[in-house]
A and B are shown apart, each in its own frame.
Chain A
Amino acid sequence: MEILNLITSDLLYDLARGPLVWISFLILILGTIYRTVKLFSFTRKKKNAWPVSLPKKKAPDGDTDKSAPLIPKWKFTVFGAHPVMISVSTVFHVILFIAPIFLLAHNIMLDEAVGFSLCSFPEKVTDYMTIVFLVCGLFFLLRRIFIARVRAISSVYDYIIWCITVAPFLTGFLSYYQVFDYKTMIILHMLSGELMLAAAPFTKIFHMVFFFFGRFVLVTQHTIGKGSRTW
């Protein structure tokens, strides 16, 4: 009971909508910068071990190239192997970023706080986005629980990160529709959102940066483009 009282208290409410917001954003921004700088400091510019330009081979006289079929490239990407997972994952990550940023309520508050705001989606759109997001989240959860290969490398930590990511959306949705006690829900929404922001740079959520670094900057077998750095 006392915990409930604390959660619904004005003190926590003020804290969550005031200083904690700024603190969590500060942690997110500084933490991300810190760890990204670290990434660069851990790696170095790759020297080309092959300075000689490759001789351009002329195609043989035959028409080998003409007969070579066009196999759709995506078939051999991870999308070809797991189309559902990749689609769900893409949708999930896109909504994760754009829904909160272009949510009307967030922008109104931003406007009130700093007198500046971004454009917003209609509320219906963000509403549907949230539902889609939660369905995607559920997909990930079920996958983690029921698919043997995912279960084999899942730990409590993975479930905690799942909760941290999904909670702000769930509580936001519930508070918007005023399911359960609104004040409790909105406080939980703010707290969980702040937790997610603060956790991002220092947990596995940091893959948000590492993905771009690992696939576009580092030189590996699977680099997209040329890459420029190496460990």
Chain B
Amino acid sequence: MNEQKIVEIDTVKIKKRLKQRKAKMKMSLSVCARCTLCADSCFLFNNNNKDPKYMPSYKFINSIGRIYKRRGKVDRAALEKIREIVWKDCVLCTRCYCPFGIDIPDMIAFARSICREQGVYPTFED
């Protein structure tokens, strides 16, 4: 089984990753008008009593958005919180609708890949 190794979070590496895809990420985060029109396109949002934490925008703002806001300087606890958002609250069905055409699934996938690289991913054991 994959033992999740507790390793130091490499913020330099995260920063490097952020830089690689900065243009799309920064633009997406900056133009999001917080209009919440994406909400209904998420079936998890509809299945969970329209709980805002399942809104596509909420998920991308609070995952990759949070990492970017701190310029990659996040600790393990923060990444573990993000792990819950990007794996538990999102199945990456890639069907989010954004009136502006923000590619939300790609942003979530990006957050996943950063988490994975830092050894923070779901173990499917709990």
Contact = CB atoms under 8 A, between A and B. Distances in A.
A149 B36 contact: yes
Contacts of A150: 34-36
Interface in A65-88: 78, 81-82, 85
Interface stretch (B6-14, B72-80, B96-104): B96-104
B100 A211 contact: yes
A213 B27 CA distance: 12
Contacts of A151: 52
Interface in A181-231: 203-204, 206-207, 210-211, 213-215, 218, 220-223, 231
A89 B99 CA distance: 12
A42 B27 contact: yes
B95 interface: yes
Interface string B37-65: 10110000000001011010110010000
Given A149-B39, A149-B55, A150-B36, A204 B101 contact: no
A39 interface: yes
B23 A204 contact: no
Contact of B30 (A206, A213, A214): A206
Given A42-B27, A206-B30, A78 B37 contact: yes
Contacts of A38: 23
Contacts of B37: 78, 81-82, 85
Contacts of B36: 147, 149-150, 153
A200 to B, nearest CB: 12
Given A39-B27, A218-B101, A220-B101, A152 B33 contact: no
Given A42-B24, A149-B50, A222 B98 contact: yes
B100 A214 contact: yes
A231 B103 contact: yes
A39 B102 CA distance: 13
Interface residues of B, number: 30
A153 B100 contact: no
Interface in A134-178: 144, 147-155, 158
A76 to B, nearest CB: 10
B109 interface: no
B106 to A, nearest CB: 8
Given A78-B37, A152-B53, A221 B100 contact: no
Given A78-B37, A210-B27, A214-B102, A222 B55 contact: no
A85 B94 CA distance: 24
A204 B31 contact: yes
Interface of A: 38-39, 42, 78, 81-82, 85, 89, 144, 147-155, 158, 203-204, 206-207, 210-211, 213-215, 218, 220-223, 231
Closest 3 CB pairs of A and B: A214-B101, A152-B52, A42-B23
Interface of B: 23-24, 27, 30-37, 39-40, 50, 52-53, 55, 57-58, 61, 94-95, 97-103, 106
21 contacts: A42-B27, A78-B37, A78-B97, A149-B55, A152-B53, A152-B55, A153-B34, A153-B36, A153-B52, A153-B57, A155-B34, A204-B33, A207-B31, A210-B101, A215-B100, A215-B101, A218-B101, A221-B94, A221-B95, A222-B97, A231-B24
